[in-house]
Amino acid sequence: MQVLACLNGEIMPVEEAKVSVWDRGFLFGDSVYEVFRMYQGRCWLEVEHLARLKRSLGELDFAPHDLSRMMERAHETIRASGIKEGTLYVQITRGVAPRSHPFPHPPVPPTEVIIVRPYDDGPTARLRERGVPMISHPDLRWKRCDIKSTNLLANVLAIETARRAGAYEAVLIDAHGFVTEATHTSLLWVREGRLEGTPEGHEILPGMTRQLVLRLSGSLDIPFAGAHVTLNELKAADELILVATTTEVVPVIELDGAPIGTGTPGPIALRLHRAYEAAVQDWLADLARARPAAAPVLGG
């Protein structure tokens, strides 16, 4: 088992992957990315992640990218790594050109980076059992959070503030006093038996795990409604729930030092994670029956 990178189509140990100092991803954050969770060597929600990646590329006016070929290289890298339980990271930058703010003219080839590494769910599984604390933090991000770009400095500063405070995550509060999302997870909450979350728009990332959890909530007869809430309203919720690609479904038991609900993982969070685990197992069983069919990919 080895952590591998595939840089512009060439597979190598991750330590050997080198990107030019003139790469616009390095200089300007002029790049987009996706993270896939791997179970048994297969990428979970692959089509959905690729659709979001394609949208991000389009929103930033990137040239069309062959995502089918990229995923062929990704699958080759996964097989070469020998990693079964892990993450697949893909990043596409606008390419290498002398530093200048406008797009390169004529256009230059993009830089494509693929990284496969193991992921140990054990620590997160223990957090799911006991729940996690959060803090609140001003949302200082740019105004197109629906694009999964590598412009993450505001996220980094907020999560570092949370870690220094002994918290697992930070919920972000916009200039009008409303909740948006967390630094690297989607945030949902429960009030009066109803699951809620900030409506999709430019303020939040359209999370793949969030969308799956909302589908699962429907199958469990848990109603969902989009809602804009203040920090005080959030603190009064019965449950807070974090959902994300790697961490799946994690209950929040404390916000800014005050308990949420009973101060223990809530029943809806637990039901949703059981349904999430069942969805993964059903998918893996379907894959096992369908082999050796190739995993689906989306064209660029």
Tens-of-pLDDT digits for all 300 residues of the chain? 899 999 999 999 999 999 999 999 999 999 999 999 999 999 999 999 999 999 999 999 999 999 999 999 999 999 999 999 999 999 999 999 999 999 999 999 999 999 999 999 999 999 999 999 999 999 999 999 999 999 999 999 999 999 999 999 999 999 999 999 999 999 999 999 999 999 999 999 999 999 999 999 999 999 999 999 999 999 999 999 999 999 999 999 999 999 999 999 999 999 999 999 999 999 999 999 987 644 445 544
Ordered domains of the chain (ranges, CATH):
4-119 (3.30.470.10), 124-283 (3.20.10.10)
Torsion, CA 104, CA 156, CA 181, CA 25, rounded to 10: 10
Q: How far apart are CA 91 and CA 108, in angstroms?
A: 16
**Of residues 54, 84, 143, 148, which has the active-site annotation?**
148
84 tagged catalytic: no
- Side chain identity at 106, as an amino acid letter? P
